[in-house]
């Protein structure tokens, strides 16, 4: 190795060590000052819904036949007398219901199959469940959020399992401000997020607020974990969307 090459290697190593030191100091600062508020526990296993929620997801509750056997199921844009085949199963619509059947309640939950989230909807009577809908959760959730113009959730959502990950960030990273130095907007967001988490019974919000840039725009990084099934509840999603709107 020539003398020039040794100098270049020495300079490269010096520069690399300096970069490592800077990023280590930055990460240490962020670990110490990123604000985390948790409502511990497991994401709710299931949530009860009304029949109007099913309609808001784009489906009707139907009494009919599947392969000749009378049962209940969900269908989209069907009328009494319609017959069709879906997933190799013959369906016949006898009646499109406007109310839940007597003594039955409707529940929904998220099921994970090979890394993908599915929405499973079922009727329950005396601890006996009757499946009515089983579809990929992501596609239906985005359609539901879009229909109700919950654009801030759509912008923030990154992935879904039993819990959904919502992420928002803006500007360059830096040293996060402690809670005592936060301006009104991030304080209000954290207050609202904690209230919503308490209502849902589960949640984890992490916020690193870095202050403003030279143009007066906020610099921040935020991640919020919420139960995926709760996002199918219009009232809950409306509150989450409103809270996310605090950050431009």
Domain extents in the chain? 28-45+141-244, 47-136
Contacts with 196 (C-beta within 8 Å, 6 or more apart), sequence order: 203, 226, 236, 239, 240, 243
pLDDT value for 11? 46
* Residues 54 and 60 sit within 8 Å (Cβ to Cβ): yes
Q: What b/e readout covers 214-226, taking b as 16+ CB neighbours within 10 angstroms?
A: eeeebbbbbbbbb
Residues of the chain under the 70 pLDDT cut: 1-32
Nearest Cα residue to 232 out of 98, 99, 76, 47: 47
Structure tokens at 179: 């809670």
pLDDT in tens, 102-111: 999 999 999 9
Average pLDDT, the chain: 88
Q: What is the pLDDT of residue 174?
A: 84
* pLDDT of 23: 62
Q: How do residues 138-195 score in pLDDT, each as one tens digit?
A: 999 999 999 999 999 999 999 999 999 999 999 888 889 999 999 999 999 999 999 9
Torsion sign across C-alpha atoms 194, 197, 201, 206: negative
């Amino acid at each position: 190795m020539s003398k020039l090459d040794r100098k270049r290697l020495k300079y490269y190593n010096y520069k690399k060590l300096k970069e490592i030191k800077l990023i280590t100091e930055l990460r240490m600062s962020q670990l110490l000052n990123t604000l985390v508020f948790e409502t511990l526990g497991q994401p709710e296993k299931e949530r009860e819904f009304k029949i109007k929620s099913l309609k808001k997801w784009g489906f009707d509750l139907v009494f009919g036949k599947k392969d000749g056997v009378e049962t209940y199921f969900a269908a989209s844009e069907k009328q009494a007398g319609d017959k069709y085949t879906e997933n190799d199963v013959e369906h016949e619509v006898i009646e499109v219901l406007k109310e839940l059947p007597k003594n039955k309640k409707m529940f929904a939950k998220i099921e994970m199959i090979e890394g993908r989230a599915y929405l499973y909807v079922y009727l329950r009577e005396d601890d006996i469940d009757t499946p009515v809908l089983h579809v990929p959760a992501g596609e239906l959730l985005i359609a539901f959020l879009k229909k109700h113009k919950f654009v801030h959730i759509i912008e923030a959502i990154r992935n879904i399992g039993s819990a959904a990950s919502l992420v928002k960030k803006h500007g360059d990273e830096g040293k996060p401000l402690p809670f005592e130095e936060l301006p009104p907007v991030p304080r209000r967001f954290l207050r609202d997020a904690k209230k919503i988490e308490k209502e849902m019974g589960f949640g984890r919000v992490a916020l690193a607020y870095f202050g403003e840039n030279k143009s007066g725009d906020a610099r921040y990084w935020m991640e919020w974990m919420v139960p995926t099934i709760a996002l199918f509840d219009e009232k809950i999603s409306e509150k989450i969307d409103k809270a996310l709107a605090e950050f431009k």
